[in-house]
């Protein structure tokens, strides 16, 4: 018996659920879980099923294609470890959280390497027997620096996701284009509040009573990509912005790891600059 994750999005029309579930039924699949959502405003249908059966993947995929409309996006995925690359700068908390989860066997992922524009995190990463690649931006303009990263990444096959674990540089449209909807960032504010640099300082100066963190896919507008996960904590007047920064780290790492897990479990659809998450 094989387990598959079936992801379908399409323009909504009558009979979609019936047709898909018909494929499962006729081919003797067990449905382990089934989630649907219709965005009636945009007339879009989303479905994620986890099924178990004897058919092989391509056959299942073909069977579904036959009953779905032309416009449908169909994915049939056999759960296996995905390949991820982590990019970081100097901070250890978000990166460390992912590395420990990986070590504990909690992640459905192979970490291909960690890339940083600084050397600082090298010894830490190497403890976990994961390649650490420093790609300094000293003396390089943004494009030159990124070109080196792109070259490095091109040596790896099948990168499913790039995780920006507090990577503190802005990516160019060229880079983003290559890994569209596959770059997961953590921004250290409750977006869309406090876009850009120093969000804790901005939050401190505004006198907010709650701070947060946001994980999102990266697009060409800074901190404006589709949001995957958000979380907050309460603060008060006694918190300096450095306290907020320190406390915020706990939120950042939890949110980033949660977003990564959702991605690895194929639970995220992206459309209209938003996410549907099952």
Q: Which residues 6+ apart lie within 8 Å of 194 measured at CB?
A: 202, 203, 206
Nearer to its own copies, 39 or 147 (CB): 39
* Residue 118 DSSP one-character state: S
**Residues found in the chain:** 278
Q: Is 180 in the site for its own copies (CB under 8 A)?
A: no
The residues annotated with a catalytic role in the active site are 223
Instruction: With CB under 8 A as the rule, give the number of residues binding its own copies.
Output: 71
Q: For the window 85-104, what string marks contact with its own copies as x by the rule CB under 8 A?
A: ------xxx--xx-xxx-xx
Do the beta carbons of residue 181 and residue 270 sit within 8 Å?
A: yes
Nearer to its own copies, 32 or 57 (CB): 32
Least distance from its own copies to the Cβ atom of residue 128, Å: 7
Q: Tally DSSP H helices, then E strands, for the chain.
A: 8, 13
Nearest to 4 by CA among 58, 52, 56, 67: 52
Q: Is 2 in the site for its own copies (CB under 8 A)?
A: no
Q: Is 79 in the site for its own copies (CB under 8 A)?
A: no
Q: Which of 24, 132, 161, 175 binds its own copies (CB under 8 A)?
A: 24
Q: Which of 32, 57, 65, 119 binds its own copies (CB under 8 A)?
A: 32
Residues 233-252 that bind its own copies (CB under 8 A): 234, 236-238, 240, 246, 249-250
Phi, psi values for residue 75, rounded to 5°: -130, 135
Task: Tell me the two tokens of residue 78.
Answer: 């056999």
Q: Is 221 in the site for its own copies (CB under 8 A)?
A: no
d(CA 278, CA 276): 7
Residues 39-68 that bind its own copies (CB under 8 A): 39-41
d(CA 67, CA 277): 24
β 161-164/183-187 pair status: parallel
Nearer to its own copies, 60 or 277 (CB): 277
Nearer to its own copies, 97 or 146 (CB): 97
Least distance from its own copies to the Cβ atom of residue 137, Å: 23
d(CA 118, CA 109): 24
Q: Is 66 helix (H, G, I), strand (E, B) or coil?
A: helix
Residues 118-177 that bind its own copies (CB under 8 A): 124, 127-128
Nearer to its own copies, 33 or 154 (CB): 33
Q: Which of 168, 178, 254, 265 binds its own copies (CB under 8 A)?
A: 254
């Amino acid at each position: 018996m094989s387990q598959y994750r079936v992801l379908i999005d399409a323009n909504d029309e009558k009979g979609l659920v019936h047709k898909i579930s018909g494929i499962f039924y006729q081919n003797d699949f067990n449905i382990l879980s089934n989630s649907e959502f219709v965005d009636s405003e945009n007339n879009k249908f989303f479905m994620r099923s986890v099924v178990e059966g004897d058919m092989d993947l391509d056959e299942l995929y073909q069977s579904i294609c036959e009953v779905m409309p032309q416009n449908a996006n169909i994915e049939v995925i056999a759960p296996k470890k995905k390949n991820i690359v982590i990019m970081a700068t100097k901070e250890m908390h978000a990166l460390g959280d992912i590395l420990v989860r990986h070590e504990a066997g909690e992640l459905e992922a192979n970490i291909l390497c960690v890339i940083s524009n600084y050397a600082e995190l090298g010894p830490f990463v190497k403890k976990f027997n994961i390649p650490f690649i420093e790609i300094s931006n000293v003396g390089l303009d943004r494009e030159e620096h990124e070109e080196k990263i792109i070259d490095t990444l091109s040596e790896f096959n099948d990168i499913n996701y790039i995780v920006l674990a507090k990577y503190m540089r802005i990516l160019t449209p060229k880079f983003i284009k290559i890994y569209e909807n596959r770059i997961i960032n953590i921004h250290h504010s409750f977006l869309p509040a406090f876009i850009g640099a120093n969000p804790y300082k901005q939050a401190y100066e505004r006198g907010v009573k709650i701070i947060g963190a946001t994980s999102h896919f990266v697009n060409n507008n800074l901190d404006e990509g589709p949001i995957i996960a958000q979380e907050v904590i309460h603060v008060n007047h006694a918190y300096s912005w450095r306290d907020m920064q320190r406390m915020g780290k706990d939120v950042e790492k939890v949110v980033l790891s949660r977003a990564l897990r959702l991605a690895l479990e194929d639970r995220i659809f992206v459309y209209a600059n938003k996410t549907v998450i099952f």
